[in-house]
């Protein structure tokens, strides 16, 4: 994605009582194995599921997930794809490279692990954590724990693997300790002027977000059966002030993936399309007509060029 050249630093509007300096700002990466709750946590921290445009200053090579501005602090959350453990091949290597690069120049890393569940996937993340960075261990989904005392042993074992700067047990679903986690991150951000407008949430183009919303529905509904085997491409986008007509194509790897996506009598696909349409409609603030097609493109996830065509870097 192209980046705007740096402009004047942005400071909160004068007259805002909370806005007297010094200001803190920095990049925060939320990492962890798939399914530990990274996206849910990041969204809960930012406080909005859908985030739209409005980056002003500062060149960055990060992909911005969202920006949270609280009083004198701006948290810039950057995207790092899940560390893939289930799927071999080119896709993994590319993904892992992206993770390592993303970690190299952020200010704070939040390593998310799921309460009571440590697996080989988590183990693979530890050597990727740069020792020179501030790193916070967030133990997610604590609402699922039957015995809270088990948490002490669990955390103790993880702390023996890496010198985390802080540990915060959280539940994104129940809103437990999210403020504590933000405070721990904030403490470790460097001083600096804000890089984004205060209401900025992300720099992703709206079509990309629409495709992500569709992909999210697919993963929610059939993710276990279709791990990393599909992507979404927006093929048509006609929008006027009254409505948007969108055609999206879901690309899967095998013929056998098609019926999984469709579900019995098309029920899965219907639900995916309905939920995605509602979200995109809320995002655009107008009615949306959404058509979703399925295409089979054999072996696409193992071909770097095909991946690039589909928008992966």
Ligand X SMILES: Nc1nc2c(ncn2[C@@H]2O[C@H](COP(=O)(O)OP(=O)(O)OP(=O)(O)O)[C@@H](O)[C@H]2O)c(=O)[nH]1
2: alpha, beta or left? (left if phi > 0; alpha if psi -120 to 50): beta
Q: Is 38 in the site for ligand X (CB under 6 A)?
A: yes
Element (H, E) at 150: helix 150-159
Rank residues 60 and 177 by Cβ distance to ligand X and give the closer one. 177
Is 242 part of any known ligand binding site? no
Contact in structure between 174 and 115 (CB atoms under 8 Å): no
Report, in Å, the least distance between residue 14 CB and ligand X.
Answer: 38
Q: Where are the beta strands (DSSP E) in 147-227?
A: 166-169
Is 37 part of any known ligand binding site? yes
Q: Is 48 in the site for ligand X (CB under 6 A)?
A: no
Q: Is 225 in the site for ligand X (CB under 6 A)?
A: no
Q: Is 26 in the site for ligand X (CB under 6 A)?
A: no
CA–CA dist 313, 101 (Å, integer): 12
The residue with its CB nearest to ligand X is: 82
The span of 123-131, 136-144, 179-187, 202-210 binding ligand X (CB under 6 A) equals: 136-144
Q: Is 173 in the site for ligand X (CB under 6 A)?
A: yes
Q: Given the DSSP bridges, would you call strands 244-252 and 230-239 parallel, antiparallel or unpaired?
A: antiparallel
Q: Given the DSSP bridges, would you call strands 108-114 and 134-140 parallel, antiparallel or unpaired?
A: parallel
Rank residues 36 and 244 by Cβ distance to ligand X and give the closer one. 36
Rank residues 26 and 81 by Cβ distance to ligand X and give the closer one. 81
Q: Is 141 in the site for ligand X (CB under 6 A)?
A: yes
Q: Is 82 in the site for ligand X (CB under 6 A)?
A: yes
User: Within 13 Å of residue 109, how many CA atoms lie on the same side as its CB?
Assistant: 27
Is 82 part of any known ligand binding site? yes
Is 36 part of any known ligand binding site? yes
The span of 7-15, 138-146, 148-156, 258-266 binding ligand X (CB under 6 A) equals: 138-146
The residues, ordered by sequence, that sit 6+ positions from 33 with a Cβ below 8 Å of its Cβ are 82, 83, 85, 113, 119, 121, 122, 124, 125
* Contact residue for ligand X among 119, 144, 191, 236 (CB under 6 A): 144
Coarse DSSP helix, strand, coil percentages of the chain, rounded to the nearest 5 percent:
35, 25, 40
- List, as residue ranges, the binding site for GTP: 32-39, 79-83, 140-143
Which residues are at the interface with ligand X (CB under 6 A)? Answer: 32, 34-40, 82, 140-141, 143-144, 171-173
């Amino acid at each position: 994605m192209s980046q705007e050249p740096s402009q004047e630093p942005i400071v909160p509007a004068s007259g805002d009582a909370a806005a007297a300096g010094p200001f803190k700002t920095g990049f925060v990466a939320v990492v962890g194995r798939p399914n530990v709750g990274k996206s849910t946590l990041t969204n809960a921290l930012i406080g909005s599921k859908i985030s739209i445009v409005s980056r002003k200053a500062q060149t960055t090579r990060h992909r911005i997930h969202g920006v949270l501005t609280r009083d004198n602090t701006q948290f810039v959350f950057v995207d790092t794809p899940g560390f893939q453990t289930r799927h071999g091949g080119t896709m993994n290597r590319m993904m892992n490279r992206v993770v390592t690069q993303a970690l190299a120049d952020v200010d704070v890393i939040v390593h998310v692990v799921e309460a009571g569940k440590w697996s080989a996937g988590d183990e693979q993340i530890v050597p990727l954590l740069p020792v020179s960075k501030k790193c916070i261990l967030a133990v997610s989904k604590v609402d699922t724990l039957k015995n809270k005392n088990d948490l002490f042993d669990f955390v103790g074992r993880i702390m023996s693997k890496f010198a985390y700067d802080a540990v915060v047990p959280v539940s994104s679903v129940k809103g437990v300790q999210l403020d504590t986690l933000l405070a721990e991150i904030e403490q470790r951000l460097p001083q600096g002027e804000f890089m984004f407008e205060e209401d900025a949430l992300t720099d992703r183009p709206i079509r990309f977000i629409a495709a992500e919303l569709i992909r999210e529905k697919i993963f929610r509904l059939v993710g276990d059966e279709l791990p990393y085997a599909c992507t979404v491409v927006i093929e048509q986008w006609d929008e006027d002030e009254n409505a948007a007509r969108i055609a999206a194509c879901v690309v899967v790897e095998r013929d056998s993936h098609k019926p999984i996506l469709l579900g019995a009598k098309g029920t899965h696909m219907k639900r995916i399309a309905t939920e995605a349409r509602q979200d995109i409609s809320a995002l655009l603030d107008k009615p949306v007509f959404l058509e979703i097609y399925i295409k089979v493109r054999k072996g696409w996830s193992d071909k770097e060029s095909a991946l690039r065509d589909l928008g992966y870097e």
